[in-house]
Amino acid sequence: MNVLTILRKTGALLENDHFVLTSGKHSPVYINKDAMYPHTAKASKVGKLFAQKFIKTTIDVVVAPALGGIILSQWTAYHLSKLKKKEILGVYTEKTPEKNQIFTRGYDKFVKGKRVLVVEDLTTTGGSVLKVIKSVKEHGGKVVAVGVMVNRDPKNVNSKTMGVPFYSLDELVTENFQPDKCPMCKKKTPINTSVGHGKKFLEGKH
């Protein structure tokens, strides 16, 4: 079972509608990853897919950005530990008011001098991942690879732009539009207000 199938089965992959993304762009497709996380067996399966992908990479710690990334880091570390028959830790960074990703709770001590796998659920611009990589390096860790569940822009988010080996379990490339150029807006297709940023977008128009 691949990641997009898991997302569809849990109602996390929404298609053929009119969504507003975090970036403010409009899209016919939305991944509501939070809909998958309550299904622990499915979230575990995603962690196992990551673990299988990195079975040949020497890893000491898995790091992810909070919030959803916490679940992925735990399951990935759990399955890597089982596959490699040694303990691999799972920790996370947290977002500051300035939107950086930093280690709190003393977790920085777990990355110093260690080989780190960074995992993330979705990448659209790769911004969060780059901030996690920076924090790991600042605390003396070595990022050996990045793994993301779904990459929405493989052309601009890849090993070259990340500066480290970068892999995605799946890709989902859709054409997204600026509001003033959105064909769905021109057709007056109602904006979905239950997921994404549609409600905020419509409130801003009044």
pLDDT single digits (tens) 23-44: 889 999 999 999 999 999 999 9
DSSP state, residue 42:
H
- What is the pLDDT at residue 55? 96
The whole-number pLDDT of residue 206 equals 56
Question: Which pLDDT does position 51 carry in this prediction?
Answer: 98
Q: Is 68 helix (H, G, I), strand (E, B) or coil?
A: helix
Q: Is 30 helix (H, G, I), strand (E, B) or coil?
A: strand
* Contact yes or no for 57/116 (Cβ under 8 A): no
| Cα–Cα distances in angstroms (integers) from residue 17 to residues 24, 29, 31, 177, 191, in the given order | 16, 7, 12, 13, 8
- Mutual orientation of helices 68-84 and 40-53 as an angle, nearest 10°? 60
Domains of the chain with CATH codes: 3-199 (3.40.50.2020)
For the chain, 206 residues long, give each residue's pLDDT as a single digit of tens. 899 999 999 999 999 999 998 888 999 999 999 999 999 999 999 999 999 999 999 999 999 999 889 999 999 999 999 999 999 999 999 999 998 999 999 999 999 999 999 999 998 888 999 999 999 999 999 999 999 999 999 999 999 999 999 999 999 998 889 999 999 999 999 999 999 999 999 998 75
Query: How far is the C-alpha of 31 from the C-alpha of 33, rounded, in Å?
Result: 6
Task: Give the separation between CA 118 and CA 106, rounded to whole angstroms.
Answer: 18
At residue 22, the pLDDT reads 80
pTM of the predicted model as reported, rounded to 2 decimal places: 0.91
Q: Check residue 175 and give its pLDDT.
A: 87
Strand partners, 96: none
pLDDT at position 23: 80
CA distance 149 to 12: 13
